[in-house]
């Protein structure tokens, strides 16, 4: 069981829910409506103790769910008075019991069953690193918190964890969670969201949201409109509510760095263009595929195996590498 939230207009209603398996999918259902203030079901007899209104247990029992005060207290703890919540948590704190470590291959296979979007989010929230996919190659036991949960329970859990994010971390979080670096795989700065232009970043973000909404594995039996409205819309709000001045500041800094570097490297760029037989305009307007086709066409003629001079071929290759770097691409591949 878990406590879920549902926004209706400007109001938020709470429910006790549970995840259950049906037709090979994990789904969720409401068990008891708590209204706008779950705290009204918490009773304080005095001192530093509390218990829950019997109406909650009776309501759950009417749905065929058997539970007890101890289990429910854990669910309601976030709504307990802060001073009592702190004491209860200190009292319940105990030495960490480590989970049984599985063999590496077994753990990796297990976590592959969880959706990539969920894994990326949890890894960023734990480590704060944009290149989360490199970490996902390691066995990460904490990802098992995703096991046996419905889409709603996973989203409720992760949304609560997202509260720790600072405004300056939100862009990096969204960039990592949606795997936006994949859209810039040929760029040296693919893991630096601030290096992207605002317009191109907006476009790939919207594409990634739509792609996720179409992903049946992510939806877990829910329809596209439901996941867009109830779960993915919050990321659009997070993304577009980023302080406009901050977004513009990143844009200005990026452009200033690029302009200064290009100005410094302009003479070398002109020489490189001459070496590879391109005008500066061609080298600046051709995309990576076009540049690579030009490289391969000339490389066949200049390669030593085809009778070309070794030194000239090396100089040609270095010049093409420089042009690709100047354009922000990674390498000749």
Whether the Cβ atoms of residue 238 and residue 209 lie closer than 8 Å to each other: no
For the chain, which residues make up each domain, given as ranges? 2-92, 104-242, 261-326
* Architecture (CATH level 2) of domain 261-326: Orthogonal Bundle (1.10)
pLDDT, residue 194, reads: 67
Neighbours of 250 (CB within 10 A): 20
pLDDT digits (tens, 9 = 90+) for 13-65: 999 999 999 999 999 999 999 999 999 999 999 888 899 999 999 999 999 99
Q: How far apart are CA 15 and CA 5, in angstroms?
A: 6
Q: How far apart are CA 187 and CA 253, in angstroms?
A: 18
pLDDT digits (tens, 9 = 90+) for 71-100: 888 899 999 998 888 887 766 555 545 556
Tell me what percent of the residues of the chain surpass a pLDDT of 90: 50
Global pTM reads: 0.70
Q: End-to-end CA distance of the chain, in Å?
A: 50
Q: Give how far Cα 202 sits from Cα of 170, 174, 251, 309, 310, Å.
A: 14, 11, 13, 47, 45
């Amino acid at each position: 069981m878990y406590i879920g939230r549902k926004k209706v207009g400007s109001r938020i209603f709470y429910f006790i829910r549970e995840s259950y398996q049906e037709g090979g999918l994990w789904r969720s259902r409401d068990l008891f409506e708590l209204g706008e203030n779950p705290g009204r079901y918490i009773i304080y007899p005095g001192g530093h103790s509390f218990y829950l209104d019997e109406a909650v247990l009776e309501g759950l029992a009417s749905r065929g769910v058997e539970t007890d005060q101890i289990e429910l207290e854990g669910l309601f703890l976030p709504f307990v008075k802060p001073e009592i919540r702190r004491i209860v948590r200190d009292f319940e704190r105990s030495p960490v019991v480590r989970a049984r470590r599985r063999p590496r291959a077994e753990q990796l296979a297990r976590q592959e069953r969880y959706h990539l979007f969920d894994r990326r989010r949890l890894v960023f929230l734990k480590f704060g690193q944009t290149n989360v996919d490199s970490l996902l190659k390691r066995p990460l036991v904490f990802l098992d918190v995703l096991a046996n949960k419905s889409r709603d329970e996973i989203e409720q859990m992760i949304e609560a964890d997202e509260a720790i994010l600072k405004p300056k971390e939100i862009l990096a979080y969204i960039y990592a969670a949606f795997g936006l670096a994949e859209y810039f795989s040929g760029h040296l700065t693919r893991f630096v969201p601030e290096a992207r232009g605002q317009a191109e970043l907006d476009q790939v973000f919207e594409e990634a949201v739509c792609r996720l909404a179409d992903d049946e594995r992510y939806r877990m039996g829910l329809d596209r409109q439901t996941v867009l409205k109830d779960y993915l819309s919050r990321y659009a709000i997070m993304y577009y509510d980023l302080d406009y001045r901050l977004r513009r500041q990143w844009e200005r800094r990026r452009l200033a760095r690029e302009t200064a570097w290009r100005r410094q490297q302009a003479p070398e760029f002109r020489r490189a263009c001459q070496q590879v037989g391109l005008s500066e305009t061609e080298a600046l307007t051709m995309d990576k595929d076009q540049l690579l086709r030009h490289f391969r066409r000339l490389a066949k003629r200049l390669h030593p195996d085809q009778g070309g001079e070794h030194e000239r071929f090396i100089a040609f290759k270095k010049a093409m590498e420089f042009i690709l770097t100047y354009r922000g691409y990674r390498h000749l591949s």
